[in-house]
């Protein structure tokens, strides 16, 4: 429900004005102390990062800032009808303190939150307070005129605006001023709306960030088209060099068998046995090819069981934890499956690990807003993994980018290595 009521009955308009005043009062009470405390503590914590203390306190405080901003996003949607999307980058779970701190500080959304705190404690506070004051202050004047002034008469009177109330005449003047100010009360919903629009302007993604996101999505979709074309060429090549060649040879063998049936039955029988073996080999190649395109277990039983089946084929002990309430769209499941497969292949080839852990879970509400499929692959290998250093992770990143997904790697020297993948999905 929004507070911006442009039409309707007088009762409806009065209710909208009262709601705007109450909500503005709540925001003013929370905005200033919350923004000031969080902003001050965060600045102090960041200043202490070089001496080590801030590395431990900064992630905790930034989490508080993020929660404070998220609460304002909820209020903006529920009270003002203004939706403010979240745009935080994922922070790898299990990363060490320093890696987590620097990952947060590299996120543009974190600095946007801090800029918003400054605006919220100034202009945001003023707009929220005015929305409340346009209704509450005139009501105060009417109460003073009705007789409250007598409680202050013995102590020198009461100032209401520019009127010094000391007797009934001045009390009536205060009441007249209150009635005049009450005429401005219909502006309260507009001021509250201005508060939330100001919040969206500062807390929402900038045009530059949106343009960058469009550019990245355009590139990833181009990569997806190129990858699909390359995959089709690979399938065509595998069919031509493998199953197709075997089927052609089988046809020739069967022609020879047909010619030898009467002349040399023993040789025809041997050729039939060879043809049967060739048909079995062709069937195996076709199954492998189909499995490489879309594994049957993935289509039939979903991502969780497909990853479990993948783990069973690993030469390294692999533990899988799945917390999925349902199934994602087939393209998302396919992208996630092959991303996990590539990450596991990298771990086996390059990490020297003897144990791997895979965790899959889906959250209805995530840091980026909406549902999110999150997959983490952790190994106890030597570490030092970098995206784009010949590890194949750059290809995984491009694959996920097609779905607006992200890849994050935490891999200090000496290990462990954690690769976290996130894909937005219902």
Model pLDDT for residues 397-415, shown as the tens digit of each residue: 777 777 778 888 877 878 7
Residue at 227 is within a domain: yes
Is 94 strand, coil or helix? coil
In this predicted structure, the answer to whether residue 208 has a pLDDT above a threshold of 60 is no
- Same-domain pairing of 309 and 383: yes
Check: CB of residue 84 under 8 Å from CB of residue 76: yes
- Same-domain pairing of 134 and 253: no
What are the distances in angstroms from CA 333 to CA 89, 375, 391?
Answer: 22, 12, 22
In this predicted structure, the answer to whether residue 212 has a pLDDT above a threshold of 50 is yes
223 — pLDDT class (breaks 50, 70, 90) = low
Domain range spanning residue 371? Answer: 298-424
- Same-domain pairing of 161 and 39: yes
1 — pLDDT class (breaks 50, 70, 90) = very low
What is d(CA 286, CA 182) in angstroms, rounded to the nearest whole number?
A: 80
**CATH of residue 223:** 1.20.5
- Same-domain pairing of 390 and 315: yes
Looking at the structure of the chain, the number of domains it has is 3
For 151, counting Cβ atoms within 10 Å of its Cβ (0-12 exposed, 13-18 middle, 19+ buried), the class is exposed
- Same-domain pairing of 225 and 308: no
41 — pLDDT class (breaks 50, 70, 90) = very high
- Give the pLDDT of residue 290: 57
Q: What percent of the chain has pLDDT over 70?
A: 80
Residue at 188 is within a domain: yes
In this predicted structure, the answer to whether residue 385 has a pLDDT above a threshold of 60 is yes
Q: pTM for the complete prediction?
A: 0.52
């Amino acid at each position: 429900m929004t507070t911006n009521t442009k039409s309707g009955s007088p009762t409806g308009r009065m209710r909208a004005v009262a709601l705007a005043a109450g909500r503005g009062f709540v925001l003013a009470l929370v905005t200033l102390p919350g923004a000031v405390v969080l902003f001050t503590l965060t600045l102090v914590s960041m200043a202490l990062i070089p001496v080590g203390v801030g590395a431990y306190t900064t992630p905790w405080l930034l989490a508080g800032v993020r929660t404070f901003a998220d609460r304002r996003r909820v209020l903006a949607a529920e009270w003002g009808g203004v939706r403010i999307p979240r745009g935080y980058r994922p922070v790898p779970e299990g990363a060490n303190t320093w890696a987590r701190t620097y990952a947060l500080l590299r996120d543009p959304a974190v600095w946007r939150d801090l800029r918003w705190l400054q605006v919220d404690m100034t202009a945001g506070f003023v707009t929220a307070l005015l929305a409340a004051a346009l209704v509450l202050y005139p009501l105060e004047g009417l109460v003073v005129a009705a007789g409250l002034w007598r409680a202050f008469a013995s102590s020198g009177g009461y100032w209401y605006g520019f009127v010094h109330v000391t007797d009934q005449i001045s009390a009536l003047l205060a009441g007249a001023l209150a009635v005049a100010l009450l005429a401005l009360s219909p502006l309260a919903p507009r001021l509250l709306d201005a508060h939330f629009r100001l919040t969206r302007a500062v807390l929402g993604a900038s045009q530059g960030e949106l343009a960058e996101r469009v550019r990245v999505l355009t590139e990833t979709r181009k990569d997806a088209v190129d990858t699909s074309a390359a995959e089709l060429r690979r399938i065509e090549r595998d069919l031509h060099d493998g199953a197709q060649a075997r089927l052609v040879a089988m046809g020739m063998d069967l022609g020879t068998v047909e010619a030898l049936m009467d002349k040399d039955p023993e040789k025809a029988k041997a050729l039939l046995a060879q043809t049967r073996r060739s048909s079995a080999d062709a069937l195996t190649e076709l199954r492998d090819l189909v499995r490489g395109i879309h594994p049957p277990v993935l289509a039939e039983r979903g991502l969780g069981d497909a990853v479990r089946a993948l783990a069973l084929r690993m030469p390294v002990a692999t533990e899988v934890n799945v917390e999925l309430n349902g199934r994602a769209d087939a393209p998302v499941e396919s992208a996630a499956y092959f991303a996990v497969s590539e990450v596991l292949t990298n771990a086996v080839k390059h990490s020297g690990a003897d144990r791997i852990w895979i965790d899959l879970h889906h959250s209805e509400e995530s840091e980026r807003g909406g549902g999110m499929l999150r997959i983490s692959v952790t190994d106890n290998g030597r570490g030092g993994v970098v995206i784009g250093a010949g590890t194949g992770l750059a290809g995984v990143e491009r694959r996920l980018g097609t779905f607006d997904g992200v890849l994050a790697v935490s891999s200090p020297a000496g290990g462990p290595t954690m690769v976290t993948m996130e894909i937005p999905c219902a």
